[in-house]
Structure 1
Amino acid sequence: MRTVLVTGPGGAGRTTLAAATALAAARDGARTLLISADPIPGFPATTAPAPVTEGLWSVRLDSGAHFRGELVTLQEQLSGVLELLGGNPLDAEELTELPGSAELALLHALRRATHGDWSHEAYDLLVVDLPPLREALALLALPEQLRRYLRRLLPQERQAARALRPMLAQLAGVPMPAQWLYEAAARRDAELAQVQALIEDRATTLWLVAEPGPAAEDALRTARTGLALYGLRTEALVANRVLPGHSSDPFFAALAAQQEKTLGHWGEEGPAPVRVAHLGRDPQGPDDLLALAGPDGAPTVPATGGEGGRAEAPWWIEEAGAPGEPEGDGILVWCLRLPGAVKKDLQLVRRGGELLLTVGPFHRIVPLEPALRRCTVTGAALTDGVLRVRFTPDPALWPRTS
């Protein structure tokens, strides 16, 4: 199954283009599932796959219901401890979802679409309407981050001490929930691993939808840095609501000229964007959405091909003496391409076997290669859009031979 992740600056029409892409793919014979948290005119508002047209199903996410269900289940698992402490369980009706619940609901939906009870339909294409650009990038990095938290907080090797738990529970007079906690953590880790595998799959592509203009140009420039940090590649940039350039009205002619200027910049920085003409109105249903695919019936964005998804390793290691580096004895240089990054927005911390990288609003923790863990950081520089970190062998961990 191929997966298309659709995002872009807020208000750029990403939901509309995701729906149009799903409709066009289904029309061309692909069994397609569309997942979105936003309402789409003419599409059912159901939380399980429901038919839209022949070959197309859609799901409308309900993050509030997902949050309530997860918390009620957690209460049931902790019922013994809550009763001992005199706690009063909360009813589902009185629960209000907390920030972050929408992201977790979307991750849960991705897992269900690929490894859960929704996957029985054997879809050819999964189209996912992601949140706006910056939130989407954080969401795509979330499975990796959450799995790291679980490994740090509940390391699997500590389960070897479970034989002591009954004795500890008797001494403390409190039931020890460690066993189910470890089991729940292992289950969550497996689920997150499935979603992470989907994001990193070579059959998963990322499409950016933007309305040409100065604001979108700045947002996409910032996004390029985040995409590079997370190792994500963009298959297509879709320019939405492109105005005709032959208007006799000076106001619309000026707007069209501004759009053409932005489109020229985008073409210089990467592949030419795919243009989607402005309908002159908001789409009102499937017919309007299909009109966005063009008069010849071709999909708005190619439905096959591309190598999107996450690069196998966005960073690489050079020996000192490579271009731009002075000669060194045993010094290794860890490199990461960060287009658009500026030095003042870059923070780098080495902690144990990891590098903690912050670039503007984006943050990622990178595990180091075994060889680099036996080295110390002796310098870092950002030149020509590439971050280079110098690692010098630590004599205490990597003794030299005569």
Structure 2
Amino acid sequence: MSPARTLFVTGPGGDGTSTVAAATALAAARAGQAALLLSAEPPARLAALLGADPGTDGPAEVAPGLTAVRVDAADRFRAGARAAQRHLRPALDAVGAVALDDDELTELPGAETAALLTALFAAHAADPGRLVVVDLPPIPEGVRLLALPAQLRRYLRRLLPPERRAARALRPLLAQLAGVPLPGEGLYAAGERWDAGLTAVDGLVAGPGAAVRLVLDPGERSAAALRAARAGLALHGIPVEAVVANRLLPAGSSDPWLAGLADRQRAVLDALTRSTGLPEPHQLPHLGRDIGPAELAALAVPPPGDPDLAEPVLEDRLADDGLLVWHLPLPGATRDELALVRRGDELIVTTGPFRRALPLPAALRRCTVAGAALERETGELAVRFAPDPDRWPERALRDVGQPG
């Protein structure tokens, strides 16, 4: 069975991400792929772009082969809060608490992230065969949203390790031996449900069928945001499928000011491609007016393609210089925004505003960090490891290059 396909679209705020997301979903539908657009844009904005407000109750057809859902974070938050209050009603009554009314519930920070991920899971559960195009929040929030399921899984596994959940039958004995109460059965059961749910969502966000399409209005501010996003996505193992340069001015204008601005836009794109290894941008013209259904249909946005993703590589240089080198692709990263910390069996890597704890391969767990270097041309971080004599028996040589 082929993996569920998800294409996330993000870019700096105000650069036309929602327009490109809608145009991408429409291009996929025209190419014969059933597509669903998920967007948290306000109703008026979506209605102007698509020609109709798709609503929040379920997929509404907005073009042949294309359905859309408007994700209302406030509505989903209120529904979740009402459900939680109903579930906790006995406890709330016992302490004399007064339930919050619907009209006084306002969404908290992070509600849009939760709503989009919930809507994505529901969309693939309802129809695993269609392409889901997700109009993400702007960079860097959009990249953090994609990293969230894996981060939450890591936190959960640290707080409720799987091996402890698997040994629930021994809990009464352990409690007697330790002399302290252990977490209740309900907590372990909840941990298993949370882990299963996060694993499913993480598969949709960072699995083999997921990719990102980046959008920018070519300027230095937007290019800097895309460089950081490129490194952050590579750090989290999420491939970039395409780059769309939006609102390009025509070259060769008779107006010197417009001609200079058009030249600067193309210079920004050339520098961005060279410094990040991003695909050659698809270029969309500046229409000089708001985008409606007719303009959306005329945009030459390509349908989703197949992305490439460089994987980490472990190089064995023990015979030559007594080192193992872990090559981590981080295109777009810069030395002054890069940090590394070894913590137990993990390497915590920070690039710009993004951070990830990477599990070390088995052989590297028996080593100490000997140094690191960032290759600017390739955007590759090479981390050097030296074997720890106290943890490096001869038989460990057979584990070199094996996953942990």
8 Å CA contact retained: 1:141, 1:230: yes
Unaligned runs of 5+ in 2: 176-180, 396-404
CA separation in 2, counterparts of 1:320 and 1:205? 33
Alignment of 1:147-226 (within 5 A): 147-159=153-165, 160-161=167-168, 178-226=184-232
Give the 3-state SS of the residue equivalent to 2:199 in structure 1: helix
Q: Between 10-19 and 227-236, report the one with greater CA deviation.
A: 227-236
Once the two structures are superposed, residues 356-378 of structure 1 have per-residue CA deviations (whole angstroms, 9 ceiling, x without a partner) of 11122110011112222233333
How many percent of aligned residue pairs carry the same amino acid? 50
Within the candidate set 59, 65, 75, 2:75 is matched to: 65
Deviations 1:97-142 (A, max 9, x none): 1111111111111111112xx32xx653221111112111111111
- The aligned counterpart of 2:348 is 356
Equivalent runs, 1:355-394 vs 2, <5 Å: 355-384=347-376, 385-394=379-388
What does 1:39-188 align with in structure 2 at a 5 Å threshold?
A: 39=42, 40=46, 41=48, 42-47=51-56, 48-115=58-125, 118-119=126-127, 123-159=129-165, 160-161=167-168, 178-188=184-194
Q: By how many angstroms is 1:270 displaced? A: 4.2
SS at match of 2:357: strand
Instruction: Specify the SS of the correspondent of 1:133.
Output: coil
Tell me the amino acid that sits aligned with residue 17 of structure 1: V
Cα gap change, 1:251 to 1:315, in 2 (>3 Å): same
Give 1:259's aligned residue: 265
Is 1:332 paired with 2:324? yes
> 1:272 maps to which residue?
280
Q: Residue type matched to 2:7 in 1?
A: V
User: Over residues 221-268 of structure 1, what are the superposed CA-to-partner deviations in whole Å (9 max), with x where a residue is unaligned?
Assistant: 222221221222212111111112243333322322222322333454
Per mean C-alpha deviation after superposition, the further-off stretch among 140-149 and 50-59 is 50-59
Q: TM-score of the superposition, structure 2-length normalised?
A: 0.83
- Aligned counterpart, 2:402: none
Matched, 1:292 2:299: yes
Structure 1 stretch 138-147 or stretch 206-215: which is displaced more?
Answer: 206-215
Q: Structure 1: 5+ residue runs without aligned partners?
A: 169-173, 294-299
Determine if contact 1:162/1:179 at 8 Å carries over to the other structure: no
Aligned amino acid, residue 363 of structure 1: R
CA distance in 2, matches of 1:138, 1:189: 19
Q: Determine the C-alpha separation between the residues in 2 that align with 1:130 and 1:347.
A: 27
CA distance in 1, matches of 2:168, 2:129: 44
Q: 1:45: Cα distance to partner?
A: 4.2
Structure 2 distance, partners of 1:123, 1:387, is: 37
For 2:102 and 2:170, locate their aligned partners in 1 and report how far apart those are by CA, in whole Å. 36
Give the total of aligned pairs: 374
Are 1:283 and 2:277 an aligned pair?
no
| Residue type at the aligned position of 1:43 | A
Provide the C-alpha distance between the structure 2 equivalents of 1:232 and 1:45, rounded to a whole number of angstroms. Answer: 29
In the other structure, the counterpart of 1:397 is 391
SS at match of 1:302: coil
Cα RMSD of the aligned pairs, angstroms, is 2.8
Pick aligned residue for 1:4 from 3, 7, 13? 7
Residues 396, 89 of structure 1: alpha-carbon distance in 2 compared, 3 angstrom cutoff: farther
The residue type paired with residue 383 of structure 2 is: V
Helix, strand or coil at the partner of 1:139: helix
CA contact (8 A) 1:266 1:273 kept: no
